[in-house]
Structure 1
């Protein structure tokens, strides 16, 4: 009888251990069969001197659509990305067009227009698109002229470009347009 009880206990332990272990096994790789997101979450980052500049954004693609004053309306605040407001994080204080911007994370918004764009850094960075955007939270507004390219940028793309150890540029490109602004580490 003791042998039967011991055998039953041993079978229970093996069965229980197997069931627990099975829950921790890797799942089948469905990356090849799963649909890729149409606006994947992307990052752009670089070290400019000792300043780590990091941008997170949703990257929609043109996919044959009319972008400017079509998908993206002119003269309205745009989250400058998809699904969630784009944000930028400076690990050091910077100067942008003579304005001191303390280190930290900021919402990055734009107001596109066919001749000039307004670039906005907002104290509020964690929001769904521009749904909760409030102008009173702006820490910076500046005007820039968009530049045109003959080559299409299919997916919205940000770049953090180091000019030297102290200066850099933030550039956003999509379709045939780009906008950019310079910053300087303090």
Structure 2
């Protein structure tokens, strides 16, 4: 075959190879990808993982062997990102993205936030414990109901924390993640009040203080400003009643709740009427005791 013939043949073969690659079937993963975005306070947490199912198999001790690294899911390593510094199970952890691993044992589990996110799966042969950003021990919990497909979730929210929960088969792993929300909120509150405060600004600032059960005097002052700008509103008096209740000024709290109920009734907000009546009943009992 001539040189020109060999060149033409190679080009044809390359073209056929490209066509063959392009025609490959796009097969779904049996352990599908999942992405979870969750706010804890003002911190964004993102989890990317794959969700394997039990499918009649023994999970603990078989699919997840004891005393060996597990990728906390399937396929690629599970990734967890934090937009701010956090505290995980009482341990500080810098903002960033980590591979999430675990070492299951019979009596406890070691949870690892790992700095090398490039490994496929658990990186068993290349895993270097010196790259661990954080490692801590948790106690597994038994579940009565079967969880067929592995899941990661967050529960038990406050302004400053939530619990990360893993569940599969009949086991659960959970640990608390805390964030430093207050400085971020207070900086924003003071900025808004200093630059362009509205009734909503003062109301939301006071409501945050009530929800955090702190700085009650400041909250009452901001509620007065909100009412001055907006007029009497059921939600302003509702928060005022709650703040006064937290201060144990129950008679004043009852008076504010009665105003809140009246204003809510005028606006057809039946649920807030019932809430106010519930607070009043509770505080009246506390006064009697």
Q: 2:164 aligns with which of 143, 160, 170?
A: 170
Contact in 2 for aligned 1:40/1:60 (Cα 8 Å): yes
SS of corresponding position for 1:65: coil
| Aligned residue in 2 for 1:125 | 117
| Aligned residue in 1 for 2:192 | none
Q: Deviations over 1:19-74 (max 9, x none)?
A: xxxxxxxxxxx9xxx86421001122211111111111111000000111111110
Which aligned pairs between 1:1-186 and structure 2 lie closer than 5 A? 36-131=28-123, 132-161=126-155, 163-186=157-180
Relative contact order (C-alpha < 8 Å, sep 6+): which is higher? 1
List runs of 5+ in structure 2 lacking aligned partners: 1-24, 181-289
Q: Deviations over 1:138-173 (max 9, x none)?
A: 011111111111111111100123520111111111
SS of corresponding position for 1:77: coil
More helix by proportion, 1 or 2? 2
Q: Deviations over 1:85-111 (max 9, x none)?
A: 001111111012332211110010000
C-alpha displacement at 1:126, in angstroms? 2.9
Q: Distance in 1 between matches of 2:89 and 2:150?
A: 25
List runs of 5+ in structure 1 lacking aligned partners: 1-29
Contact in 2 for aligned 1:47/1:162 (Cα 8 Å): no
SS of corresponding position for 2:177: strand
| Bigger radius of gyration | 2
Count of residues paired in the alignment: 154
Q: 1:53 to 1:161 in 2, by over 3 A?
A: farther
TM-score, structure 2 normalization: 0.51
C-alpha displacement at 1:114, in angstroms? 2.3
User: What is the Cα-based RMSD across aligned positions, in Å?
Assistant: 1.6
SS of corresponding position for 1:64: coil
More strand by proportion, 1 or 2? 1
